[in-house]
Structure 1
Amino acid sequence: MVGETARAPRRDRVSVTAVRHAFGESFDLEPGYLNTAAMGVPPRRAAAVMAEEVTRWARGRCQPTDYDRDVATARAAFGRLVGVGADRVVLGASVSQLVGLIAANLPVGARVLVARNDFPSVRFPFLARRPDVIVDEVELDHVPDEVAGHDLVAVSVVQFGDGRIVDLEALRSAAEASGARVLLDATQALGWLPLRLDWADHVVGAGYKWLLAPRGPAWLTVHPDRWAELVPYAANWYAAEDPWQGVTGGSLQLAGDARRFDLSPVWMAHRGAAMTLPWLAGLDLSAVHRHCVGLANGFRAALDLPPADSAITTLDRPDAAERLAAHGVVASVRNGRTRLAFHLYNTEEDVALALAALRR
């Protein structure tokens, strides 16, 4: 069952859908949805805009240039969530594709440090694409201690499998002392964990989990000191200084900032991202953090487990996934453990439902 989502049949759950209000937005969310670490649920407003956009498309009313503002809006909001300007943000389609850009630019013989059992999209671009580099895998807690002697450290801020958080301050200090570059995957952190990662060489994140956007957009920040070092292996019309001039017969010239590494956008998905990312970037993320971690720690306390201080928690209990699914709780199984994720739209009702399922 590894990698599966545990849930009850949909026909048993449709009638209990209710509107929830959280941090200024409303959600059509079924009780017991604790699976944001796999897929986020959009606000009603964003879902309505996406439905309207599909209708416009079906009626032949969409044009490619319609989405330029959405792309720029989501790009800038991602930068604010990370703590950098929009000029540092690269547009991509997935974490693995963007990590692959960094992997492709490593010199032969480079040494890369990764965390054992980190998400495959962080590790696999180095392991599979670059057999001429050396990849060392260590336990997450040991990553800061092993930085010396490596050219690049690639690690998730929050581990997808169990919610553990890397010691960012220790990692930063170790990288500055040794001169190693740092690539952080913030996919499981952005949207609930307040972060300022302007010091990192690269920060990557996908939009369809905690950022509540449609699947399609992903972003990568590139420190200005690295712009000249990276070869834009996927150079395309959208990476030009003026993309629309290039496709109408004008001369092509790479953008002067991090846009030179862009992929062309998944247009409609960016319309949804332009709704959710600015809203999240404008919230008091300390309050969001307290809410999410408070629910997760409360759930753990009720099961006599110590606090984990993460929005993601796991259970090492063989029957947990089946019990939760039988009572309408949507969770996932990762690395043999049942994973639950508490986001800003979750409430004590979700905690109570999950606890009731486990206690019966």
Structure 2
Amino acid sequence: MDPADLRATMPVTSEVAYLNTGASSPAPRPVVEAMTDWVEYHNFEAPAEAGIYPHAWDTYEAVRETIAGFLGTTPESIGLTGSTAEGISVIASSIDFEPGDVLVRTDLEHPAGILPFDRMADLHGLEVRTLETTNGRLDLDDLRDVVADARLLAMSSVSWSHGTRLPVEEVVEIAHEAGAQVLIDAVQSPGQRPVDLESWGADFVAGSGHKWLLGPWGAGFLYVAPDTIDSLTPRRIGYRGVEDPTGSPYEYKAGTARFELGTTSPAPHVGLATAIDLLESVGMQSVQARIERLTDRLKAGLGDRLISPRDYESGLVTFQAEAPEATVEALAEAGVVVRPLPFPPGAVRASVHAFNTVDDIDRLLEAL
């Protein structure tokens, strides 16, 4: 499959220049069809054949393997969640925080990476430190200072405000040297560039499939490093997270599946697995190269309005507008879908994926 074939599976692309994947992507037809087929079989045929529960349980494991393979890790390290926010909340609530523990985050974080720890601060008396950045960039010396006595560092892999790619591997090394664990909000990375979670070295990684992975809402993932999982204390329990649901005493599963609870629909994750297969058929190197070419064109056309880095780092391109909300509304009327941002001031963001075209980019520039 090439990017043109991928685009042909997405009906919305014939209607508008859709440049808002960093918020949520439209799903390709095969993704929606795979979910529909799964639901129909599960309700119409599985009761008389595989069985409703065995069919679901086999599906959980199959999609776990697909997600793990795509992210360069093992199935045991992957838990199935509904969203990035759920994964972050699971980790936040499973750490045995003590009063005075230090949590460090950057000023680039999405509310999904802020609210769970604000709640933990209220509950446990944490000290929350916010590392200030400049134009979406971290100063690693400042990071060393602020994490020197930290319990946890929570950070995004790509800033949702500037589209900057943050140096995850270097950050993890610095935090670990200081004795801090690291949680990465990865929602803006998988699907637009190759990702190998093992090479990142983070203790925890949360993400979701409804952005660059082209999957549906409701299909997230949580990675926990094998040598870190026993440092967590799950606060929730369900029969999917234990070795023997009828055994006494209960025993949590060895891997990240211990955080899964009970009867949730596998359909969204079926859609995500199908979306991953589609992206792999295009090839992640090809996806990234196309995003780079298209963002280069957009950045050149934006000129001095550009807020994001001039050189390629991601498909997120933020630019200045006098009235962001009005600009986004006017662009929508012209058939171009982008979004305003709460920061930096006066910012509008376009998200460029491999299914986009030169015509999409030029349509945005002409409308501006």
Q: Same fold (TM over 0.5)?
A: yes
CA deviation map 1:81-128 (0-9, x unaligned):
332111111222222222122222142122111111410111211112
Q: Give yes or no for the alignment of 1:118 onto 2:95.
A: no
Structure 1 runs of 4+ off > 6 angstroms? none
Q: Which residue of 1 aligns with 2:66?
A: 77
C-alpha distance in 2 between matches for 1:41 and 1:237: 33
Q: 1:297 to 1:334 in 2, by over 3 A?
A: same
Q: Give yes or no for the alignment of 1:142 onto 2:142.
A: no
Structure 1 residues 163-182: aligned runs within 5 Å: 163-182=163-182
Q: Which residue of 1 aligns with 2:335?
A: 328
Q: Give yes or no for the alignment of 1:317 onto 2:302.
A: no
Q: Give yes or no for the alignment of 1:337 onto 2:335.
A: no
Amino acid at match of 2:25: G
C-alpha distance in 2 between matches for 1:195 and 1:267: 24
Q: Which residue of 2 aligns with 1:15?
A: none
- 1:250 deviates by 5.5
C-alpha distance in 1 between matches for 2:166 and 2:85: 20
What TM-score do you get using the length of structure 2 for normalisation? 0.83
For structure 1, list consecutive stretches of 5 or more residues without a partner in the other structure. 1-19
2:241–2:258 Cα contact (<8 Å) kept:
yes
CA deviation map 1:115-174 (0-9, x unaligned):
114101112111123321111111243363323222211111012223122122331331
Structure 1 residues 168-317: aligned runs within 5 Å: 168-198=168-198, 199-242=201-244, 246=245, 249=246, 252-264=250-262, 265-280=264-279, 284-304=283-303, 305=306, 306-317=310-321
Of stretches 179-188 and 269-278 in structure 1, the one that deviates more from structure 2 is: 269-278
- 1:348 deviates by 0.9
Identity across the alignment (%):
27
C-alpha distance in 2 between matches for 1:106 and 1:214: 33
2:120–2:126 Cα contact (<8 Å) kept:
no
C-alpha distance in 2 between matches for 1:192 and 1:47: 20
C-alpha distance in 2 between matches for 1:41 and 1:263: 28
Of stretches 72-81 and 21-30 in structure 1, the one that deviates more from structure 2 is: 21-30
Q: Which residue of 2 aligns with 1:100?
A: 89
C-alpha distance in 1 between matches for 2:132 and 2:312: 17
C-alpha distance in 2 between matches for 1:311 and 1:32: 15
2:87–2:207 Cα contact (<8 Å) kept:
no
Match of 1:44 among 20, 23, 29: 29
Amino acid at match of 1:222: V
Match of 1:130 among 121, 129, 140: 121
Amino acid at match of 1:93: G
Of stretches 189-198 and 22-31 in structure 1, the one that deviates more from structure 2 is: 22-31
Q: Comparing both structures, which one devotes a greater share of its residues to helix?
A: 2
1:22–1:344 Cα contact (<8 Å) kept:
no
For structure 2, list consecutive stretches of 5 or more residues without a partner in the other structure. none
C-alpha distance in 1 between matches for 2:38 and 2:333: 36
Q: 1:148 to 1:250 in 2, by over 3 A?
A: closer
Kindly tell me the number of residue pairs found equivalent between the two proteins: 335
Where 1:40 maps in the other structure, the secondary structure is coil
Amino acid at match of 1:42: A
Supply the RMSD in Å over aligned alpha carbons: 2.5
Q: Give yes or no for the alignment of 1:349 onto 2:359.
A: yes
